[in-house]
């Protein structure tokens, strides 16, 4: 009855109802997303496994001791001298990260820039030449950053300043 009276008096009743229902709808959707995230988290994160064999010594180390060992590892690598395997190994990992992150960043940036340029050309075809020139210049700058990552990777692999 109240709904019927409001419909007769106000022609904008659906809009009024939609604004009054936005907060509860938001709460319901937020709760649904949180529940689904919790369900996914519990489905994909494994439960702790009980061991039947004797635990190793490294599993009994406290977290502080393991953190201290991780902080001291670079110092130990420098102290080991010429026979150390840490510096070349970590340099190879650093080189992989350098070229990988440079390639990913440049690829994403070039894709976004090219897509925006195509959108601009499709909206205003008369400025296609200007946009194309600016796009090629920006792509060259983005590619130069990838080449810098490659140079860093090559230096770490073949002319490492940390190895004497």
CA 103 from centroid of its chain's CA atoms: 14
* % of the chain exceeding 70 in pLDDT: 57
pTM of the model: 0.47
Whether the per-residue pLDDT at 65 is higher than 90: the answer is no
Contact, 146 vs 101, CB < 8 A?
no
pLDDT digits (tens, 9 = 90+) for 123-136: 999 999 999 999 99
Whether the per-residue pLDDT at 56 is higher than 80: the answer is no
Structure tokens at 88: 């070349």
More confidently predicted of 109 and 41: 109
More confidently predicted of 44 and 95: 95
pLDDT of residue 114: 94
DSSP state of 85: S
pLDDT of residue 16: 54
> Average pLDDT of 39-68?
59
Query: What gap in Å lies between CA 11 and CA 67, rounded to an integer?
Result: 67
Task: Provide the mean pLDDT of the chain.
Answer: 75
Query: What gap in Å lies between CA 64 and CA 71, rounded to an integer?
Result: 11
pLDDT of residue 17: 53
- CA R_g for the chain: 30
Q: Kindly indicate the confidence band of residue 43, based on its pLDDT and cuts at 50, 70 and 90.
A: low
> Average pLDDT of 128-146?
93
């Amino acid at each position: 009855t109240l709904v019927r009276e409001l419909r007769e008096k106000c022609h904008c009743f659906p809009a009024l109802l939609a604004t009054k229902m936005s907060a509860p709808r938001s709460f319901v959707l937020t709760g649904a997303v949180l529940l689904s995230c919790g369900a996914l988290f519990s489905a994909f994160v494994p439960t702790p496994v009980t061991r039947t064999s004797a635990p190793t010594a490294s599993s009994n180390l406290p977290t502080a001791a393991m953190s201290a060992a991780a902080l001291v590892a670079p110092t130990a690598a420098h102290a080991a001298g010429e026979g150390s395997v840490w510096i070349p190994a970590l340099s190879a990992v650093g080189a992989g990260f350098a070229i990988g992150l440079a390639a990913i960043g440049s690829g994403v940036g070039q894709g976004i820039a090219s897509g925006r340029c195509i959108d601009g050309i499709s909206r205003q075809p008369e400025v296609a030449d200007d946009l194309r020139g600016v796009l090629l210049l920006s792509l060259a700058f983005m590619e130069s950053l990838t080449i810098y990552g490659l140079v860093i990777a090559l230096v770490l692999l073949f002319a490492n300043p940390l190895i004497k």
